[in-house]
Structure formats: structure tokens, C-alpha cells
Amino acid sequence: MLIDRTDELITVNLWGNLSHLEINDLDIVIINGGRLSNFASGKVLNCGDDYCKVIINPGKDVAPNIVEFIDVAMSNSAAQERNR
């Protein structure tokens, strides 16, 4: 599950080879090509390996403007808390 900036919960389904990805709490995940569905129970993002690209913890070479989309201070403090 993902939570966006509005605190809305989005369930993510990974299909095919993507289902073997290891994604941990506080990882930064880029999903390109996912198919979003709205249900009464909430939003679901479906990602199949034939139409979707998933990048975990991208470097600046992949996403040079990533800091514009994340709260770096929050991520750093959460990571420090996790390591205690």
C-alpha cells in the first residue's frame, strides 16, 4: 500500500515478475504506467511487468528532481527512528 501527499491510501498490486520485488517501509518508489482503478473501498493501482515500470530508491541520475516530490526531512527522521 502507498500513501500519497493527501494521506490517501492506495493499494498497489504487482503482477508477473514485479510481484517478486522487495519494497520496504520508507522506500521511495516510482511507478510509471500503472493502471489506476477507483472502487467503493478505495483506489487500486495495478502494475503488470508487461506495461509498468517500477523503480525503488532511484538515484539522482534516474530522477534528478526527486527532492521536489518528497519530504526529505521527514524521510530522514523516520529512517533515524527506524534505526534506533
Compute the Cα dihedral for 25, 23, 13, 61 and give only its sign: positive
Phi, psi of 76 (to 5 degrees): -65, -45
SS3 content of the chain, % helix, strand, coil (to 5): 25, 35, 45
Instruction: Give the model's pLDDT for residue 65.
Output: 76
Give the DSSP H or E segment for 14.
strand 9-15
- Give per-residue pLDDT as tens, 21-67: 999 888 888 899 999 999 888 889 999 999 999 999 887 777 777 76
DSSP state of 61: T
Bridge partners for 47 per DSSP: 14
List the single range of 1-5, 10-14, 59-63 with lowest mean pLDDT. Answer: 1-5
pLDDT value at 4 more than 70? no
pLDDT bracket for residue 72 (50, 70, 90):
low
Higher pLDDT, 63 or 17: 17
pLDDT bracket for residue 71 (50, 70, 90):
low
